[in-house]
Amino acid sequence: MLYSLSRCCCVKLKIILPVICLFIFTSPLYAAKTGKTEELAAGIPKTASIELAADFGLPSKTFSFKVPKNAYGVRITLSNSSADLDLFINHGSKPDELSLVDFSSEEDDYNESIFITRQSESPLESGIYYVSAVYQYDYLPMIDGKRVENIDFSIKYEVITSEPEAVLRPGYARSLVLKPENGMFAVVSVDIPRGTASFRIDVFDTDADIDIFASTKTAAKSRDEAMYASESMLGSESLHIGGYSGSRLTTGRYYISLIDQLAKELPRELSIIVTLGEDAPGKITEIPRMPEPADSFESAVLSTIEVISGNGKGSGCLLSRDGLFVTNWHVVRGADGSPSDEIFAAVSLSVYNPPVEMFSAQLIDYNEELDLALLQINAGRYGQSLPFGYDFPYYRLGDSAALRIGQPLGILGYPEVGGTGSRTSITFTSGIVSGFEAAPGCSLIKTDASISSGNSGGAVINAYYELLGIPGYIMDINNDKMGYIYPVTCFPEEWIDRIKLANDR
């Protein structure tokens, strides 16, 4: 019995694969037999059956469902299938040509699922969608030792709406959880009283990279729908509304959409507060003292900070008790080639969690040729003054000139691969000095230690937890990787003098 040429057929007939695959994509045999369409109701499973008739076309069953305007996402799930069915979804028309559909799921699981949101690569649209459950094999499935000519299954369509889950009161914080089953998306609302000139929205106490969309009338489900938006690389996101010269703030109800656009696997907690006026509330502006490290390794962890700029993230190394630190120039370089307008520093108060975004920094100097930058922590995250006499942990500089090939190295930083969420906790890797390479201004250190995006500007340390240099970049040729380190001997002399002076005070 031949329904069509399928993935199984292509595996078995390898010799004629090019001809077969061409035939599949140009022949009517690679079309689903959609037949009569049944309508799905949101949240209500529908039981159905596919007849495996011996004629042309892929055996399938097609359904329609409506995406309302207030939907952020939809999930379509197959269940209780006795054979391997695949899902194909199209907006506005039936998915007859399976190679041309908007969405598909063709896993080996019998019961497929597709989750589509307004943030998907092909964004969810309002209106009518069609979904086909398709059997793509060219043989009858076997159930309980017998060949069957019908496949029974259930299908369910669920809607994740953009309706507010809470109403905020200005000045009062609220805790929320972004959940994978809701697309890491939540909406709250707040009523801004008449006469308010400006207000601000602050997200805090979160391990995720949260973005904020705000609108009146309806909740924004994407940036395009938002009247106001804040999408920085910070977890502690802030959005200021109003206070613009010559403009009058619209008061009344605002809808605030909160979303983690990068990670979808684990739920993430957050707190949010709306404050009338422009100043950050006292609840989030207190700067705790840096903890006293128990040993040299804890000191190294505290001295390795995450650096966040308007154009990227990286790592950095504290070098003085008053907050001088070094990183790579490309970490704090703006897209236009000039320094980023805002630069923030985050500290690892726990090795189990992403660092806490506690400080702001200003650029002191940079060397574009060496890809190095020297910065100074000069304020808290929200621009508030540092407490009097505030001291930072810091690295002591090691003797990178004394390194020899084969000696061990350790690397601390915040690589993107160091976490399953949208932000990462501090990560330690190790390797050896693999060699050296002459470069303009100084010689670089080669290493086999794992270095990846986000490590830039972090710490390369020896067994005494002294700073030997900072990771700069990697070379990757045919999956053979080599890391390159800027040793402390590359640091400009005037930087070294400034660091020594700061620590001698």
**Chain centroid to CA 245: how far?**
35
Distance CA 158, CA 74 (A): 6
pLDDT digits (tens, 9 = 90+) for 151-205: 999 999 999 999 999 999 999 999 999 999 999 999 999 999 999 999 999 999 9
- Residue 27 within any structural domain of the chain: yes
pLDDT computed for residue 22 by the predictor: 32
pLDDT confidence of residue 33? 54
Q: How far apart are CA 33 and CA 40, in angstroms?
A: 19
Q: Report d(CA 377, CA 317) in Å as an integer.
A: 12
Q: What percent of the chain has pLDDT over 70?
A: 91
Domain edge (last residue) among 263, 285, 307? 285
Give me the mean pLDDT over the 39-67 stretch: 87
Tens-digit pLDDT profile for residues 205-241: 999 999 999 999 999 999 999 999 999 999 999 999 9
pLDDT category of residue 453 using cuts at 50, 70 and 90 = confident
| The pLDDT of residue 300 is above 80 | yes
372 assigned to some structural domain: yes
| Residues 484, 351 share a domain | yes
The H or E element containing residue 67 is strand 58-67
Instruction: Using CB atoms within 10 Å of the CB of residue 416, give its burial: 0 to 12 exposed, 13 to 18 middle, 19+ buried.
Output: middle
Last residue within a domain, chosen from 285, 304, 323: 285
353 touches 346 (CB < 8 A): no
End-to-end CA distance of the chain: give it in Å, rounded: 87
77 in Cβ contact with 156 (< 8 Å): yes
Looking at per-residue confidence, does 30 or 424 come out higher? 424
The conformation of residue 415, written as its DSSP 8-state character, comes to -
* Residue type for position 14: K
**How far is residue 169's CA from residue 272's CA, in Å, rounded to a whole number?**
11
In this structure, the answer to whether residues 323 and 471 fall within a common structural domain is yes
Final residue of a domain: which of 160, 176, 200?
A: 160
- Report whether pLDDT(280) > 90: yes
Domain that holds residue 199: 166-285
In CATH, what number is assigned to the domain containing residue 55? 2.60.120.380
Give the other-Cβ count within 10 Å of 459's Cβ: 29
DSSP 8-state symbol, 112: -
- Report the residue count for the chain: 505
Is the confidence at residue 3, as pLDDT, over 50?
no
Q: Answer yes or no: is pLDDT of 10 > 90.
A: no
Residues 431 and 342 in one domain: yes
In this structure, are residues 417 and 451 in contact, taking their beta carbons and an 8 Å threshold? no
Pair 69, 196 in one domain:
no
Taking a C-beta distance cutoff of 8 angstroms, is the pair 53, 43 a contact? no
Give me the CATH number covering residue 293: 2.40.10.120
Percent of the chain at pLDDT > 90 equals 73
Across the range 129-143, mean pLDDT stands at 91
Residues 383 and 294 in one domain: yes
Residues 155 and 188 in one domain: no
Q: Are residues 179 and 194 in the same domain?
A: yes
Based on the fold, state whether residues 295 and 275 are members of the same structural domain: no
Q: Is residue 311 part of a domain?
A: yes
| 299 lies in some domain | yes
Q: In a 10 Å sphere around its CB, with 0-12 CB exposed, 13-18 middle and 19+ buried, how is residue 334 labelled?
A: middle
Same domain, 315 and 301: yes
Q: Is residue 1 one of the residues assigned to a domain?
A: no
pTM of the model: 0.86
Q: Which residues face 252 on adjacent strands?
A: 192
User: Does a structural domain hold residue 413?
Assistant: yes
Residue 420 pLDDT class (50, 70, 90 cuts): confident
Domain contains 401? yes
CA dist 499 and 493 (Å) reads: 10
Per-chain mean pLDDT for the chain: 89
Q: How many domains does the chain have?
A: 3
State whether 292 and 406 are in the same domain: yes
Residues 135-144, mean pLDDT to the nearest whole number: 87
Two structure tokens written together for 395: 């690295």
Residue 174 and residue 248 share a domain:
yes
Tell whether the model's pLDDT for residue 389 goes beyond 50. yes
Same domain? For 291 and 255 the reply is no
Q: Which amino acid is residue 255, in one-letter code?
A: Y
Residue 4 has pLDDT above 70, yes or no: no
| Per-residue pLDDT tens over the stretch 68-119 | 999 999 999 999 998 999 999 999 999 888 889 999 999 988 889 999 999 9
